[in-house]
Amino acid sequence: MPLVAHNDLPTFDRLRAEGIRVLPSDRALHQDIRELHIGLLNMMPDAALAATERQFFRLIGESNPIAQFYVHPFTLPELERSTEAQAYIERYYEPLETIKTEGLDALIVTGANVIGAELANQPFWEPLKGVMAWATENVTSTLCSCLATHAVLQFHYGQKRIPQPDKTWGVFSHRVVDSTHPLVNDVNTRFDVPHSRWNAITRQQFDAAGLRVLVESDTVGVHLATSADGLRLIFSQGHPEYDTISLLKEYKREVMLYADGNRTDYPPFPHDYFPVRDQAVLNEYRIRLEAALKAGNAVPEFPESLVAQRLDNTWHDTAEAVVGNWMGTVYQVTHSDRRIPFMEGIDPNDPLGLRKR
């Protein structure tokens, strides 16, 4: 069943326009179908706040036909915001205390903007630790995305991310390495995932933490892993939620940083993302940009719309399937009458019954 528009968040209108099914709240109340309440801790910077929100809403809304999904976005007040972004948050987002009082079936934690190498010095560090401590005791399952994975691996498992010599950036092929887990049930055994990060948690670190690796790449390492019980914590180093044009937006941002003198080197292409024809278009743009900068002329318009027309999305269907499996699993192990971590009679150390298989 679809997402439920339980408030006037603009994302609901945007998703309706894209053809995503969004159910009005008055209609949802008259359907005899269970609800699932999913929190979205959105720590992304202002420019990416709404886009990240839409990406995860979209994945949830398309994922599973068995429930009505109420998605509750919230953020951390310690994160610095512009006046406009703060007004948006105050209007559409929910206070953390309300989230805690009403409870969640599942939680998604996004990445965040980081200044400096040490995660423990970031403004989100202590507040995030508090949210995760609460979620571990009160939420059936929490999905940590990219930087949130690195933060939780550090403060919960003592595994610090490792800086990489080059940015892991682009679209990379991955394989399912543990096909017995419900999260990867009936998904492609090999599929693509976008990545965008300067740091990594290695396979050895996941193993040392006692975590269960499900999906891995020969090129960029672990993408998907879980806590030892298979459900309480889900870790993603990649960005399966990305839109088709997300990496194009990032590339354009880096080019504009170079044009403004805020980056010394011209950005490379994201791995295996731009077709050869578009690479030629972008190389031609670089020549024009360099000439304009040398002559002191205005920066030429970036050919975003031209390039966007030919980009392929080779990851969304598998991402949708994995999230659908996640939602289905959470649905099976939570109560229908109240949101608590596990149903009576289910082993909290083995909620999926994997040891019986």
Domain boundaries, the chain: 3-243+313-352, 246-308
Task: Give per-residue pLDDT as tens, 219-268.
Answer: 999 999 999 999 999 999 999 999 999 999 999 999 999 999 999 999 99
List C-alpha distances in Å: 110 to 56, 133, 239.
9, 16, 10
Which two structure tokens, joined as six digits, stand for 101? 């009082």
Report domain 3-243+313-352's class.
Answer: alpha beta
Measured from the Cβ of residue 35, the count of other Cβ atoms closer than 10 Å reads 17
Task: Decide if 129 contacts 86 (C-beta within 8 A).
Answer: no
Amino acid at 338: R
For 181, the 3-state DSSP assignment is: coil
Which two structure tokens, joined as six digits, stand for 62? 């398309």
Q: How far apart are CA 340 and CA 325, in angstroms?
A: 19
What is the 8-class DSSP label of residue 338? S
Q: What is the pLDDT of residue 357?
A: 46
Contact residues for 52 (Cβ-Cβ < 8 A; gap 6+):
42, 44, 110, 241
Stated pTM of the model: 0.88
The length of the chain in residues reads: 357
Amino acid at 239: H
The CA-based angle 80-84-88, given to 5 degrees, is: 90
Q: Positive or negative CA dihedral for 268, 274, 279, 283?
A: negative
Task: Decide if 255 contacts 266 (C-beta within 8 A).
Answer: yes
CA 268: distance to chain centroid? 24
Q: What is the pLDDT of residue 338?
A: 45
Number of helical H runs and strand E runs in the chain: 12, 11
List C-alpha distances in Å: 288 to 47, 98, 192, 275, 298.
27, 52, 33, 20, 11
List residues with catalytic annotation: 146, 239, 241
Q: What is the pLDDT of residue 34?
A: 78
Q: What is the pLDDT of residue 352?
A: 67
Per residue of the chain (357 residues), give pLDDT as tens: 457 888 899 998 988 887 666 878 876 666 557 789 999 999 999 999 999 999 999 999 887 666 789 999 999 999 999 999 999 999 999 999 999 999 999 999 999 989 888 999 999 999 999 999 999 999 999 999 999 999 999 999 999 999 999 999 999 999 999 988 989 988 999 999 999 999 999 999 999 999 999 999 999 999 999 999 999 999 999 999 999 999 999 999 999 999 999 999 999 999 999 999 999 999 999 999 999 999 999 999 999 999 999 999 999 999 999 999 999 888 878 865 544 444 445 666 777 666 654
